[in-house]
Chains A and B, each alone.
Chain A
Amino acid sequence: MTGSLLRVSDLTATVTTRREVIQAVRGISFDINADEAVGFVGESGCGKSVTAKALMRLAPEGASIGLGGSVAFWGQELLGLGEDEMRDLRGRRIAMVFQDPMTSLNPVMSIGAQMSDMLRRHLGLSAKAARERSVELLDLVGIPDPARRVDDFPHQFSGGQRQRVMIAIAISCEPDLLIADEPTTALDVTVQAQILRLLLRLREERGMALMLITHDFGVVAGMVDRVNVMYRGEIVEAGPVDDVFARPQHAYTRALLDAVPRLQGAGAVR
């Protein structure tokens, strides 16, 4: 399946909290094709995370978010969609992996219960079928002894394992687009590479599009086809990842590239 999965034009996002109003995204446009992996790189606060949440129409808790422009998903305009329809889409068609696996799981529910609730909601599975599917998914993301661990609670898993669980949850309903928002930032370096390899493998096996958000150019290298560099709510540079690496046009991109340790080089997932 090819063609434009997601077409974002002139997207603006204004986040209103109790204390301030922030224009977090200031008119950005980009496409993501089905089967394509696109990286979004920028320092924290550049609007990349808000962009990801905007695509799913999620406002940060305690804040409201005002969106402008257009987000077309398979040609359907998401910004005008009702909340119920949007909810059917979240997790089912567009899924998300968050930054911190330590806080992303509900501490008082078993892993299996947190996987099943989504499977039952979107796919209408029975409790038994959802549980079986959860075990399969845990196996798929490389959790050992999944039939036993499915009833364990989050605190019984390590950080890397928790991120695997989060990925299992995200892909459980076979979404068309997986958004990974800094999926490795909170993890140890060795574990980072494992998680990235897992994402890469799952993407190839399942043929879903990937939107990889990170502050670290080292992470997008070898993971994505194209990259967008964001700065102060705008996309300042875009292009095939190798081009951007080889010939950065924008001063900000160069600064970000300089922050990557040299010996990693380009084009290699460690």
Chain B
Amino acid sequence: MQDSAPVVAARKGAGITQGWLLLGVGLAMLAAMLVLTIFAPLVAPYDPSVTSPDSLAPASAAHWLGTDSIGRDVLSRLIVGGRTTLLITVSAVLIALVAGLILGLAAGYLGGRTDEIIMRLLDVVFAFPVLLLAIAVVAALGPSVPNLILTIAIVYTPAMARVVRAPVLSVKQWDHVEAARSVGMSEMRLVLRHILPIVVSPILVATSLTLSQTIFTVTALSFLGLGPPPPDPNWGGMLSEARQFMELAPLTVVGPALAIVFATLTFIIIANGLREVLDVGSVR
């Protein structure tokens, strides 16, 4: 039976507008970050690797965020370091995404034995604390930008595969998939036309959440000395280097700390915005 009570006033659909607002803010933050880092060499006021006798200088017109312990400009290092950090983050997540898509689609769509084997193997990787596994892999492979990307990709692939698999499993039962199959649509087209679009929303949300977690893992590895080798700057490494002298030059710590928080926040905001706009339930 229908609700026959007269509705006096419908209140604003708060969810939708708030979602778009979050998404807009997040994308704007991302755009700002990308522009700064892509054009880093042009934007950075100094060469990030050039030292000067003016070490641990406070903020000034010449050095907005001061200089570090061997006189390098902190702002320039932040901008150029962001390039390395974001490059590793984004490429690693993209690889994890593709690997997760392949594994998740295969597991969910083929089902049975294949599903069992793929998911069980991923469970083993999933059993490790993320950071610990990343540390072990990088320690084994040796720290370099390609190795870091590979490591992070390995670490986050199981989570991605899980996110892909769940909706595939449920979509598979749907009638229109059956219908498409009955009219002889090829398996490949079936997956691309009918299954992929349904799984895209949760994947988008999960990807941006994973990006925020990856920022954490990448910078944490660099913080532990497992980041890209010096002298190229990166946020985690800068934070770690700055700790020794931080009471003399707090900005050397605050700068990279804020950058890390800003980047993480960007992806979290985008994830939440996407979640509301796409009306995806809580992922994970």
Cβ of A98 within 8 Å of any chain B Cβ, yes or no, is: no
- Count of chain B residues with a beta carbon within 8 Å of a chain A beta carbon: 13
A22 contacts the other chain (CB 8 A) = yes
Pair B7/A22 contact, Cβ less than 8 Å: yes
Nearest Cβ distance between residue A229 and chain B, in whole angstroms?
Answer: 13
Interface: B140 (CB within 8 A): no
Structural contact, A20 and B10, CB atoms closer than 8 A: yes
With A18-B14, A19-B13 known as contacts, the answer to whether A43 contacts B4 (CB < 8 A) is yes
Interface stretch of the complex, out of A44-52, A109-117, A200-208, A242-250: A44-52
Chain A: interface residue count, which band?
A: 20 to 34
* A23 adjacent to B6 (CB under 8 Å): yes
Main secondary structure of the interface of A (DSSP, over half): loop
Q: Given known contacts A18-B14, A19-B13, is B4 in contact with A46 (CB within 8 Å)? A: yes
| Complex Cα spacing A50 to B13, Å | 24
CB distance from A122 to the nearest CB of B (A): 33
Let me know if B11 and A232 touch, CB within 8 A: no
**Beta-carbon contact of A45 and B3 below 8 Å:** yes
B7 CB, min distance to chain A CBs, angstroms:
5
Residues facing A in B1-52 (CB within 8 A) are: 1-11, 13-14
Contact between A21 and B1, CB atoms less than 8 A apart: no
| Contact for B5 among A18, A19, A24, A215, CB less than 8 A | A24
Output the nearest chain B residue to A23 by Cβ-Cβ distance.
Answer: B8
CA–CA, A231 and B6, complex, Å: 11
Q: Kindly provide the distance from the CB of B8 to the nearest chain A CB, expressed in whole angstroms.
A: 5
CB atoms of B7 and A21 under 8 A apart: yes
In the bound assembly, the distance between CA atoms of A47 and B6 in angstroms comes to 10
A174 to B3, CA, bound (A): 34
User: Which chain A residues lie closer than 8 Å to B5 at the CB level?
Assistant: 22-24, 45-47, 50, 232-233
Q: Is the CB of A19 within 8 A of B10?
A: yes
Scoring B residues 170 to 200 as 1 if CB is less than 8 Å from chain A, else 0, what string do you get?
0000000000000000000000000000000
Contacts A18-B14, A19-B13, A20-B11; A44 near B6 (Cβ below 8 A)? no
**Cross-chain pairs A/B with CB under 8 angstroms, 13 sampled:** A17-B11, A18-B14, A19-B13, A20-B9, A21-B8, A22-B7, A23-B5, A23-B6, A45-B3, A46-B5, A231-B4, A232-B4, A233-B5
Q: What 10 pairs between A and B have smallest CB-CB spacing?
A: A45-B3, A21-B9, A21-B8, A20-B10, A43-B1, A44-B1, A45-B4, A23-B8, A45-B5, A24-B5
